[in-house]
């Protein structure tokens, strides 16, 4: 009986060790995942992908830039149009829009 009880305690100790090692592994994996920026399958960050998607939705004539008329459909972008138009050409390029959109998203 003593041998059986000793064996039971040994198994319990071993099981606790396995659980502790597994929990540590999950904790380390979770920490590593939390430090990795979220990306889309194409490798873009979520903010960049969202900016590109919003740009495409607003670009009604599909000319690759946003005019003041096009951004009136989105009041928050329209309010920031002048600040985001870095080259002061009266239109927002994808780069200008993405920079402003990313700064707003942070």
Residue-wise pLDDT tens digits, 73-100: 999 999 999 999 999 999 999 999 999 9
Q: Considering only CA atoms, which of 73, 48, 68, 36 is closest in space to residue 58?
A: 73
Asked if 55 and 94 count as a contact pair (C-beta separation under 8 A), the reply is yes
Any idea which fold 46-105 has? Recoverin; domain 1 (1.10.238)
Contact criterion met (CB below 8 Å) for 60 and 76? no
Per-residue pLDDT of 29-74, as tens digits, reads: 776 666 655 555 555 678 888 999 999 999 999 999 999 999 999 9
Inform me whether the pLDDT recorded for 2 exceeds 70.
no
CA 45/CA 37 separation, integer angstroms: 7
Full-model pTM: 0.57
91 SS3 class: strand
Alpha carbon distance 18, 10 (integer Å):
12
């Amino acid at each position: 009986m003593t041998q059986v009880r000793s064996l039971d305690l040994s198994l319990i100790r071993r099981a606790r060790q396995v659980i502790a090692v597994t929990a540590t592994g999950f904790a380390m994996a979770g920490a590593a995942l939390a430090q990795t920026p979220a990306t889309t399958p194409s490798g873009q960050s979520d903010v960049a992908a969202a900016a590109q998607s919003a740009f495409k939705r607003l670009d009604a004539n599909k000319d690759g830039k946003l005019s003041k008329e096009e951004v009136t459909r989105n009041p928050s972008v329209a309010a920031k149009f002048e600040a985001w138009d870095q080259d002061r050409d009266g239109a927002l390029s994808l780069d200008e829009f993405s920079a402003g959109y990313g700064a707003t998203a942070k």
